[in-house]
Amino acid sequence: MSESDKAAMTTNAATLDVAVRRLQASEASGESREELFRLFVESVQDYAVFMLDTRGNVATWNVGAQRIKGYLAHEIIGSHFSRFYTEEELRAGKCELELRGAAEVGRFEDEGWRVRKDGTHFWANVVISAVRSTDGTLIGFSKITRDLTERKRAEEERTARVAAEAANRAKDEFLAILGHELRNPLAPIVTALQLIRLRDRGQIPREYTVIDRQVQHMMRLVDDLLDVSRITAGKIELRKRPVDVREAVAKAIETVSSLLEQRQHHLEVEAPDEPVMVDADESRLGQVFTNLMTNAAKYTECGGHIQIRISATAAEVSIAVCDDGNGIEPQLLPRVFNLFVQGQRGSERTEGGLGIGLPLARSLAELHGGSIEAQSAGAGSGSTFTVQLPLAGASREKPIAALALLPNRAGDGGAQRRILVVDDNEDARQMLAAILTMQGYNVQSASDGPEALQIVKTFAPDVAILDIGLPVMDGFELASRLRDELGPMPRLIALTGYGQRNDRERSKAAGFSVHLVKPVDIEMLIDNLALDSPALS
């Protein structure tokens, strides 16, 4: 019950109490019961209580009717009660329907929008009762109206909230499925490209570079879509440690270097000589800088200039990404960090986008306790995006950059290790098996659970890499069956297109020590194939 409902009950209870006391005293005073009842009705403030004649004209008017509907008695008595109804209900014949219903069965109740004297609408509960003489002749109608606008709005807000929550759940489920379905075909493409890179070493054809660049772009789109969904749902968890901002910026430059080279941009970096440490999730911080640099590269004409300036004060570090590109129009600038908002792009622009890079960058910066601001003098004047982050109190040595080529680690620490790969995507399975074989592993592969169970009768794997979304039996059931068949379990690695937090938790509960999302980073996979390799979450 709402506060207004409680208040109405209290007020009317008090009024009724007064009326009852007067009724008890009526014999002594000679005051009639009819007069007391009239006084009671007229004094009720939280209900509109009035009479209609047989044609629907207002015959009486109480204080509650005046308060709720806004009319004084002399302004409304004699007028038809249709004055309280909306145009839509009048066209639908609602007034006639209500009076006819009350006359036929004695009572009519309804809820709907009604109109006050000032034209505003309120949500009303209406009860119309037929009033008959002692011989049964219809002499009019009593009408009681209650203002339930507050309750109606609360219900609408509750319904809207439930609908929004359902829509969010449906969106998250859709994005999870979308991510899985997009990652599945990307996985064999990425693995095949990595296989070419390892096999041909320094003789990489230009076509490889083009395919690799476009695949990486699509992977970033998929990751950004899923990250936006996770942030919106509050499911992003940062793994913070001291990070040198200069190193994070350098890695972001490496990530977008192919785009910078393709568009022949001139890049200039200004940074302090000493480390600039922040407490951050290195991967997520890299996303912020990568998205800002990618945005600058896309919206700057070929041969343009991009400048990155890193400066620090005693409390915070500022990272500015400046370009002399298209700029941002004044009307767009306040909305540039809104989801799916994009600037004008010429027909010659081939780099795609969904308008999620900047919103994602802002959300990640804020999760780090920082902020992002956008500045531009207008169209054609370039743009500057400035990230501000609080400095960390501790320092840390600069991390060693990852090796460009994979070492062969199949024989580390002893005999050649045996790997079982199970994936129903034939291209993904064959490419992964080929690249692992090239690394010196003894590899067997299967397309589903039953085939895998046949293989392990004669082949005892040290590590089993299982797709989760398998036909016949999924990866979780296969893991359980392998446990039954082999006794000493091989180390289980989940390789799947599903990468949400609950997917990882389910993998861990099923006995998987590592959960990798397609397309897999081969170096990360190789690192985790060692029997003594620590598990990744």
The H-or-E segment that residue 14 falls in is helix 3-24
Please list the pLDDT of the chain residue by residue as tens digits (537 residues).
455 555 554 444 454 455 445 545 544 454 565 665 566 566 677 889 999 999 999 999 998 999 999 999 999 999 999 999 999 999 999 999 999 999 999 999 999 999 999 999 999 999 999 999 989 999 999 999 999 999 998 898 898 888 888 877 777 677 667 766 777 777 788 788 878 777 776 566 767 776 776 777 677 667 766 666 666 656 677 888 999 999 999 988 988 888 888 889 999 999 998 999 999 988 889 889 998 998 899 889 999 999 999 999 888 999 999 999 989 888 888 888 876 555 554 434 444 455 677 888 888 898 899 999 999 988 889 999 999 999 986 333 333 222 233 444 455 444 578 999 999 888 788 888 888 888 888 999 999 999 999 999 999 898 999 998 888 899 999 988 888 888 777 889 998 877 777 788 888 888 898 898 887 777 778 878 865 544 433
Comparing C-alpha atoms, which of 143, 182, 136, 201 is closest to residue 406? 201
- Contacts by residues 124-128 (CB-CB < 8 Å, ≥ 24 positions apart): 124/148, 126/98, 128/52, 128/98, 128/99, 128/101, 128/102
DSSP string, 322-352: EE-SS---TTTGGGTTSTT------TT----
Distances from the Cα of 145 to the Cαs of 16, 138, 287, 459, in angstroms?
Answer: 18, 21, 59, 81
Question: CB–CB of 215/182 below 8 Å?
Answer: no
The model's pTM: 0.43
